[in-house]
Amino acid sequence: MPEAPSDVTSVDELVSRIVSSVSPLADFPLPLMEAFGMAIAEDVVAEVALPSFDNSAMDGYAVRAADVAGATADAPVRLPVVGEISAGRAAHLALSPGTAVKIMTGAPVPAGADTVVPYEWTDRGVATVRIERGADAGANIRRAGEAVQAGDLVVEHGTVLGPRHLGLLASIGRATVRSRPRPRVVVISTGSELRDPGTPLGHDSIYDGNSYLLAAAARQAGATAYRVGIVPDDVRSFTEALSDQLVRADLVITSGGVSEGDYDVVKEALGGLGTVWFGKVAMQPGRPQGFGVVGEDEVPIFTLPGNPVSAYVSFETFVLPALRTMMGKSPASRPTRRARLTEPITSTPGKRQLVRAVHGADRGGAWVTPVGGHGSHMIGDLAASNALVVVPEESTGVSAGEMVQVLCLDEDF
């Protein structure tokens, strides 16, 4: 039966509430490697040109093109070698007409030279060199400013820094760049039935998979994750654990204890504060949700449902946009891609369904195949999937062969 609209919040409404209520973290200068994967919060203008001086592209001899013009194996040119310049050990040499200077790749071209003859065209002579082929003026010389000019805008505000950006920033001499830091995310699992992996299980206990699932998802999103682990279904223990953790948190994620049970500790502990909303979202899985702020610093908190698939899908739908907003990354939510559905999906109208699936591509284009069943405890299916098919709220089902919207979970964006 479709939900009564007054009872439930739509996914889009909650996402936009979340995105508009979290703020980007303050930016500050970060050492380059710490800024890897983060959005830069400044426009970077090169203060130096690259290359910063004319330099050789080859190991060989710096000469004047006119002096070697017409050289052949049968009619070689012989020039005295008057010096040697290697990269990083360059004397200020000037080349006189009719002479050669040995030069290594990257070394500054001496004044007076206008070309470099590679070793391969010579006898590699030390005192004199026999040159068997001429070189055009300008050949094998990398000109100052050819790669980047001083004053060029090299990295734009908002760019997510990857290896190539870091290489360029270091090359123009930047040791730090203004960037927003990684949000510090604290992950707390609630449930008296939970045990740590590696410890014995009782007949009614289960291992805490969620804190690993969620901490890893937070890390994959670019955050620093602190996995606090298990807190039992006891309001005092939960409140203590939460207030202990708030000092190091930019964002808190809890799992479990938010539905209608008699021991739903998260709801009980936070429900009275008035700063955390609890409700139902028109989404499957991930119906019970909570979002708000806690503590003096008003740290955003997401109280995700305990079923593992629900917790993960809720992270993807609600926490990821918040983290990306904090990091200054855009878009906040993962963009969907279109793919051809290979098997039918049934759906009840009134809620958005996010179906675990495997996504791939062949010569016919992108395809997506649902994995497993609907149950939000089916973690095996979750691990076997790499995508979620988004079945819209109004849909009554999708037939095989139709095009659908897909979230590709392991793709960077």
Ligand X SMILES: Nc1nc2c(c(=O)[nH]1)N[C@H]1C(S)=C(S)[C@@H](COP(=O)(O)OP(=O)(O)OC[C@H]3O[C@@H](n4cnc5c(N)ncnc54)[C@H](O)[C@@H]3O)O[C@H]1N2
Give residues in contact with ligand X (CB under 6 A): 189, 191, 193-194, 206, 208-211, 255-261, 264, 287-288, 305-308, 310, 376-377
State the nearest-atom distance from the C-beta of 1 to ligand X, in Å: 14
Nearer to ligand X, 287 or 334 (CB): 287
Nearer to ligand MOO, 41 or 407 (CB): 407
Residue 324, binding choice from ligand X, ligand MOO, none, Cβ under 5 to 8 Å by partner class: none
The site for ligand MOO (CB under 6 A) is made up of 284-287, 305, 307, 310, 376
Nearer to ligand X, 71 or 213 (CB): 213
Question: Among candidates 39, 25, 12, 23, which has minimal Cα distance to 318?
Answer: 12
Nearer to ligand MOO, 122 or 317 (CB): 317
State the nearest-atom distance from the C-beta of 43 to ligand X, in Å: 43
Residue 40, binding choice from ligand MOO, ligand X, none, Cβ under 5 to 8 Å by partner class: none
Nearer to ligand MOO, 9 or 224 (CB): 9
Nearer to ligand MOO, 121 or 302 (CB): 302
Residue 209, binding choice from ligand X, ligand MOO, none, Cβ under 5 to 8 Å by partner class: ligand X
Residue 206, binding choice from ligand MOO, ligand X, none, Cβ under 5 to 8 Å by partner class: ligand X
State the nearest-atom distance from the C-beta of 395 to ligand MOO, in Å: 17
State the nearest-atom distance from the C-beta of 190 to ligand X, in Å: 6
Nearer to ligand MOO, 179 or 284 (CB): 284
State the nearest-atom distance from the C-beta of 325 to ligand X, in Å: 24
State the nearest-atom distance from the C-beta of 264 to ligand X, in Å: 5
SS (H, E, C) the chain: CCCCCCCEECHHHHHHHHHHHCCCCCCEEEEHHHHCCCEECCCEECCCCECCCCEECCCEEEECHHHHCCCCCCCCEEEEEEEEEECCECCCCECCCCCEEEECCCCECCECCCEEEEHHHECCCCCEEEECCCCCCCCCEECCCCCECCCCEEECCCCECCHHHHHHHHHCCCCEEEECCCCEEEEEEECCCEECCCCCCCCCCEECCHHHHHHHHHHHCCCEEEEEEEECCCHHHHHHHHHHHHHHCCEEEEECCCCCCCCCHHHHHHHCCCCEEEEEECEECCCEEEEEEECCCCEEEEEECCCHHHHHHHHHHHHHHHHHHHCCCCCCCCCCEEEEECCCEECCCCCEEEEEEEEEEECCEEEEEECCCCCCCCHHHHHHCCEEEEECCCCCEECCCCEEEEEECCCCC
Q: In which region does residue 98 sit, left (phi positive, over 0), alpha (psi from -120 to 50) or beta (all else)?
A: left
Distance CA(286)–CA(270), nearest Å, equals 19
State the nearest-atom distance from the C-beta of 201 to ligand MOO, in Å: 22
* Chain mean position to CA 220: 8
Nearer to ligand MOO, 95 or 283 (CB): 283
Nearer to ligand X, 53 or 207 (CB): 207
Decide: 293 and 266 in contact? Cβ < 8 Å: no
State the nearest-atom distance from the C-beta of 398 to ligand X, in Å: 22
* Beta strands 337-341; 403-408: pairing state: antiparallel
Chain residue whose CB lies nearest ligand X: 306
Residue 189, binding choice from ligand X, ligand MOO, none, Cβ under 5 to 8 Å by partner class: ligand X
State the nearest-atom distance from the C-beta of 304 to ligand X, in Å: 7
Chain residue whose CB lies nearest ligand MOO: 310
